[in-house]
Structure 1
Amino acid sequence: MLGAIAGDIIGSRFEGHSKPPQDFALWHADCRFTDDSVCSLAVADAFLDRADYALRLRDFVRRHPNAGYGGMFIRWAMSDNAGPYGSWGNGAPMRTAAIGWLANSEEEVLYQASAQAAVSHDHPSAVTAAQAVALAIFQLRRGESGAAVQERLVQDFGYDLNPERALKSGGFDVSAAGTLPPALAAAFTAEDWVQAVRTAVCLGGDTDTLACITGAVAEALHGLPQDVGETARSHLAPDLLEVLQRFENATQR
C-alpha cells in the first residue's frame, strides 16, 4: 500500500511530460501526493470500516479537492447522488491496492475490487483492471511466484505483459486497459522496487498513476525500501497518515 503511495508521489512531478532520464532524482521539491494516494487511502478506509465506497471516496476528495482529479471524477465526487458514469479510465485500478493486502480470499479480492471500481468507473475494462491489480497483490503476498502471477493475469485478464511490447507503448494512454500492461510489466521485469518505479515513470505521460500501480505490485513482489517509505510518509497530510497507520495495523495482525 505504501508502495502505491510512494510511486504516486515520485511520479507526480512528471505527469503529462515526456520521458525523464532514467537516473532522475526520486525525490524533489515538486513531489506531492495526488488523487491516486487520496483515493487509494479512501478505499482502504472504506474497506476497514466496511463502509460505502462512494461515500468514503467523496469524503476524502472533498477534504483534498486540489489533488489533480479528472474532470468527470471530480464532478461525480462533488455530487451527493451521481451514479457511475461508464468510465474506462485508470482511476479504478490505481486505487485498489489496499484490497489486495486486506482481503482474506480470492473471492473477496475480486468482489471488493469490483465494488470499489463500479461506484464511478463501471466500464467492464476498468472493473477488470481493478480486479487484476488487487489479485496480483493478493497472490504475491500469499507467496505465489512472479512468473505464476503474470501467467494468471495473462490467462484470466488477457493482458499482454511481454515487456518488449508492453513497455514500448509509452505512458500517455489513460485507459485502464492501456495502463495495466506497461504498469504491470514494469513491476515484473524489475529487480527491485526502485527499478520498477523508475521504469514506469520513464514511460512519460500519466506518470503518477503508472508509478502508483507499478509501486503497488512491486511492493508485494520485491518489498519497499525503508527510506522510500519514510520519505513518502513525510509528504502525506495528517488525516491520510492516520488512515495509512490504521491500514498497517490491520495488515500486521
Structure 2
Amino acid sequence: MLGAIIGDIAGSRFQWDNLKSKEFRLLYKEFGCEPTDDSIMTLAIAKAILECKENYTELGQKAVSSMQKLGRLYPDAGYGEHFYWWLFEEKPQPYNSFGNGAAMRVSPCGFAGKTLVEAIYLSREATKVTHNHPEGMKAAEAVTTAIFMARKGKSMKEIRECIEKKYYKIDFTLNQIRPSYTFDVTCQGSVPQALEAFFESTGFEDAIRNAISIGGDSDTIAAITGGVAEAYYGIPLDIREKAFSFLDDELTTIVLNFESKFGKYIDERTMGS
C-alpha cells in the first residue's frame, strides 16, 4: 500500500507539468511533492479494511464512511469534481464512474486478501460504492489481481499473461507511447499504461520513474504502478523513510496499523545493510 502513496507523492509535481523523462529527483518537498487524493483515498480504503476486522460483509459501508471522514479532513487534496461533492453528500450513491480513481485507491485490497478470490471481493466492495461502471470495476480488479499475484511470488511473465488474458491487451511499449501520450483520467486510458510501467521495470524506483516518464495523470499512474511494484520488489528503506516525512500523524498511523496487520514490504536487498 505504501508503494501507491510513494508513487502519488513522486508524481504529484508532474501532474500538470508532465516530464517525458526518467531523470528527476524522486521525493522532494521543495519541488512541490505532496500526497494528493490518491494517497488519502488509498488510506481510507486501508482504514475501512482494518475496521472490518476480517469480516468484510460491511466493507462497502465502511469504505463510504472512511472515505468521507478522511476526505473531509483533507478537502484540498485534489479530488475530481464529482467525487468531491460525493464526499459531502448525506446519502452518497455510486455514480457510474470509470475514472482512474477506482484503480488508484485499491492497493490495500491486494495486500489484505488471503486468497485471490477474497482480494477481488474486497476490490469490488470498495469500488462499487462510487465507480460502479464496468470499466471502473474491471480496472480495480486488474490492479488488485496484479498486486496479489506479485505478493505471492508470481513472475512478471505470469502476471502479464493474467492481465492480458482477463483484463487488458497491452500492445504497446512505453517508448512507443511516450511522445504522444496525454492526460487521460479514464481507467481504460491510464491503467494499462500504469501496468506496462511495472512490466518494463527493473526495480521499485525504476517502476515509479517509468510511470512518471510517460506524462499524463502522473500521480495516479505512478500510484497504480507503485502498489504493484511494492508487492513485487518491496520498497527500499531509504525511499520508505523519506515517504513518511510527507505524511502527518493521522496518515502515518493508518499506514503503520495496516502494515502491522497485513505485513510491510521492504526490499530484501536492504535487509541487514
TM-score range, shorter chain: over 0.9
CA deviation after TM superposition for structure 1 residue 44, in Å: 0.5
Is 1:212 the counterpart of 2:223? The answer is yes
Structure-1 separation of matches of 2:171 and 2:231: 18
Structure-2 separation of matches of 1:123 and 1:243: 29
Structure-1 separation of matches of 2:228 and 2:112: 14
The one-letter amino acid paired with 2:248 is: A
Q: Is the contact between residue 174 and residue 196 of structure 2 (CA under 8 Å) also seen in structure 1?
A: no
Structure-2 separation of matches of 1:215 and 1:230: 16
Structure-2 separation of matches of 1:149 and 1:161: 15
What secondary structure is seen at the aligned counterpart in 2 of 1:48?
Answer: helix
In structure 2, the partner of 1:230 is 241
Q: Is the contact between residue 174 and residue 214 of structure 2 (CA under 8 Å) also seen in structure 1?
A: no
What secondary structure is seen at the aligned counterpart in 2 of 1:215?
Answer: helix
CA deviation after TM superposition for structure 1 residue 48, in Å: 1.2
Q: How many residues align?
A: 253
What secondary structure is seen at the aligned counterpart in 1 of 2:94?
Answer: coil
Q: Is the contact between residue 160 and residue 181 of structure 1 (CA under 8 Å) also seen in structure 2?
A: yes
Which of 88, 100, 120 pairs up with 2:110? 100
CA deviation after TM superposition for structure 1 residue 106, in Å: 1.2
Q: Is the contact between residue 161 and residue 182 of structure 1 (CA under 8 Å) also seen in structure 2?
A: no
Structure-2 separation of matches of 1:222 and 1:14: 24
The one-letter amino acid paired with 1:83 is: Q
Mean Cα deviation higher: 216-225 or 163-172: 163-172
Mean Cα deviation higher: 153-162 or 44-53: 153-162
Mean Cα deviation higher: 167-176 or 180-189: 167-176
What secondary structure is seen at the aligned counterpart in 1 of 2:18?
Answer: coil
Unaligned stretches of 5+ residues in structure 1: none
In structure 2, the partner of 1:47 is 49
Mean Cα deviation higher: 137-146 or 166-175: 166-175
In structure 2, the partner of 1:8 is 8
Is 1:151 the counterpart of 2:153? The answer is no
Q: Is the contact between residue 174 and residue 197 of structure 2 (CA under 8 Å) also seen in structure 1?
A: no
> For residues 1-253 of structure 1, what are the structure 2 equivalents within 5 Å?
1-28=1-28, 29=30, 30-50=32-52, 51=59, 52-160=62-170, 162-163=172-173, 167-168=177-178, 170-252=181-263
Structure-2 separation of matches of 1:91 and 1:252: 24
Per-residue Cα deviation, 1:160-207 (whole angstroms, up to 9, x for no partner): 154258744625111011111110000111101111111111111211
Per-residue Cα deviation, 1:39-96 (whole angstroms, up to 9, x for no partner): 0010011011125211111011001111000000000011121201111100011001
What secondary structure is seen at the aligned counterpart in 2 of 1:178?
Answer: coil
Structure-2 separation of matches of 1:67 and 1:49: 23
Q: Is the contact between residue 137 and residue 220 of structure 1 (CA under 8 Å) also seen in structure 2?
A: yes
CA deviation after TM superposition for structure 1 residue 13, in Å: 0.6
* % identical equivalent positions: 38
Q: 1:16 to 1:98 in 2, by over 3 A?
A: same
The one-letter amino acid paired with 1:11 is: G
Structure-1 separation of matches of 2:47 and 2:261: 11
Mean Cα deviation higher: 226-235 or 159-168: 159-168
Q: Is the contact between residue 196 and residue 215 of structure 1 (CA under 8 Å) also seen in structure 2?
A: yes
Measured on the aligned residues, the alpha-carbon RMSD in Å equals 1.6
